Structure formats: C-alpha cells, structure tokens
Amino acid sequence: MYFEDEPAPGENLPILPGHVSPGRFERVLRSGVFAVTAEIAPPDSADPHDVYERVKVFDGCVDAINATDGSGANCHMSSVGMCSLLTRCGYSMVMQISGRDRNRIAIQGDVLGASAMGVSNVLCLTGDGVQSGDQPGAKPVFDLDCMSMLSMIRTMRDEARFLSGRKLSHPPEVFLGAAANPFAPPLDFRPLRLAKKVAAGAQFVQTQYCFDIDMLREYMKRVCDMGIHEEVYILPGVGPLASARSANWIRTNVAGVHIPDDIIKRLEGAEDQTAEGVQICIDMIQQIQEIEGLHGVHIMAYRQEDRVPEIVQKTGILADRKPWQPDWSTLAAQAPGPGSAARKRSVASH
C-alpha cells in the first residue's frame, strides 16, 4: 500500500494521530484493509546479499515481513541484523524477540537500537526451549516471558523510561505484537491468555498455524464475545504443507500445531501433494476472510517462500491494492553491506 507521504527507502513515515509508530504496517492495519504478512527465513550466513535474495520473493504481495529470532532454538542470522538491513531498503519489518536468549538489559538495548535503525514493529515471544534445537547444551535465559516483555517495552515507549525507572531521552516508536495459539489445550483458556497479552501491551497478534477452520471460528467467537477483537489486530497463521508425510511429522513433533485427519487424507489423495498443500492454504485464507474479528493473515511458507506470491494472487485477498515494494534498480548502489561492484550489479539485475 502506498501513501501520499511515502518516504525514500530507509526513511520513516510521520506518526499519525492515534498511532504509536512511523511504520507502514500499523497504517495498513488501522486503515481497515485485510493485511498480509509473511516470514523470511534467516540465512546461516554473514553475507547481506543472502538476505536481499531471500526477501525479493515477497515484493508487491505482503505488507510486512517477520524476521524470526532463533526459531526452533536453532541459530541463524539475528532478527535485529536482518531488520537493520531490510528497513534501510524500505521494507516494513517485524523484529521478533525471544525471551529464551536475552535478559531484560539486552532486550531493552536491542529495542532502542532497532528503533534507531527504523524498525517499527516488535513481536514479543517467550521462545522455544533450547532442548528442541541443535545446541541443547546452550544455557536458556527466560528472564522475561512474552507478557512481561510487552509490558516493559510499552513502558519504554509510553513513559520514556527503562524498567529500572531511568529516563530515556527519546523513546522507541514501536508497534507491539505477540503470538497466540488458538489450537493448544486447554482451549477454553486461549482467549483468556490472549486478553492478558493485550492488557500487557499487544496491539497485533499473529497465531500458530491454522489448519482447522472450525476450531478457529469457535476461538474467534469467544474472542469477539469478550470484545478483544476491538482492542487488537489478529492475523491467523497459515502455510502450505509440502506433503502428507510432512504434515504427519509436523502434527506429531511441533508443539501446538493441530492438523485434522481430513487435511492429511486430502493430501494423501492428491496426485501432486505439494500443489494440493498450496491449494489447501488458499482455501483456508478464503474462509478466514469471512470470520468476524480477523484483520489479515500471516503466511509461514517454510522452504516454500516462492509460493507466497501465488497464494496471495489466487486468494484475491489484496483486492485492488498492491503493497509497497522497493525499486532495486535504484537501491543497488546503496544496498548496505560489504561487496564489490559485481555484487551490486547482481542485486540490480533482480
């Protein structure tokens, strides 16, 4: 979505009345359109070119992009590093922060640094346990959970002070988010937990993968009955399944992901299971659009990021609008990071 006061890449929009950030993502949500976000897989690399190559697949089809923070307790390029690179190119980034790896001192410093670099959206997560990753001997921190982290950053933003009480000369201008899982038992507790996150400061919420529309409807009915949908922007998580085998693995091994038997059977009966997984995602999004209280979708296409434009186009969720995308021909010469003229020519060629 383009705005009349659209800035040059790397420059922020002015903060509108009633808004807390200069970010495009907050503007899109508050405008009332159905928003689309996606996740970028961070590289196992220190080369910024690897980040630029990964993000271009989302150009023109998403409103904001999440940079994951040690997802699954596995190490990759940091979320703050990726957000730094891509906000300078003009992308609307969602920086994820996991309480697993940092204490309150480090988190507050990262939030200030990210805001100084133009990051306008922060998603607070408690984080997966280190035992689920490839370095189970790492020492977990968990100084703060997601709700205490939300409250702390909201205090920094709204009261211009650290958790210690020390004043900030300029507060971080960030739109705060959290994750939710409508499908994890006990189901009756899930709307109540969402309410607690909203009370702590969450302004937008992205959920765990949704493969059961009936369960999502029941969850949203309770959310709407409680009036929570009027206080927070909710974007259910969706994504294409690669095969029946991978779907079975996910529902057995990934905590909180519920995949009904009929989805598995549909995949098993398909001639091309990967294509069917994409179609299931499309069908899910079209049904999600009809559910009261939802404000968009969060597409998590792990190792299938190139299918995101197809999914967005076939669902028609953008209607007649086109999300902002950078002009790489003009960005090539100023793309941040080390590299030769040949690399910059490579960036410009895409």
- Confidence band for 130, pLDDT divided at 50, 70 and 90: confident
Over residues 90-96, the mean pLDDT reads: 96
Asked if pLDDT for residue 225 goes beyond 90, the answer is yes
Region of poorest pLDDT, from 151-165, 222-236, 335-349: 335-349
CB 225 within 8 A of CB 249: no
Over residues 290-312, the mean pLDDT reads: 96
Task: Output the pTM of the full model.
Answer: 0.92
Res 8: pLDDT? 74
Res 132: pLDDT? 76
Distance CA 219, CA 213 (A): 10
Residue with tokens 């959310």: 223
Region of poorest pLDDT, from 86-100, 173-187, 195-209, 335-349: 335-349
Over residues 254-282, the mean pLDDT reads: 95
Asked if pLDDT for residue 343 goes beyond 50, the answer is no
Asked if pLDDT for residue 327 goes beyond 90, the answer is no
- Specify the 3-state DSSP secondary structure of 207: strand
Asked if pLDDT for residue 218 goes beyond 90, the answer is yes
Q: Which CATH number fits domain 24-348: 3.40.50.300, 3.20.20.220, 3.40.50.2300, 3.10.690.10?
A: 3.20.20.220
Asked if pLDDT for residue 340 goes beyond 60, the answer is no
Over residues 35-52, the mean pLDDT reads: 94
Of 20, 3, 16, 21, the closest CA to residue 118 belongs to 21
Over residues 45-72, the mean pLDDT reads: 93
Report percent pLDDT > 90 for the chain: 78
- Specify the 3-state DSSP secondary structure of 56: helix
Copy the structure tokens of residue 235.
């974007």
Give the contacts of 129 (CB within 8 A, at least 6 positions apart).
73, 100, 140
- pLDDT tens-digit profile of 139-186? 888 999 999 999 999 999 999 999 999 999 999 999 999 999 999 999
Res 341: pLDDT? 39
| Residue-range domain boundaries for the chain | 24-348
Asked if pLDDT for residue 234 goes beyond 80, the answer is yes
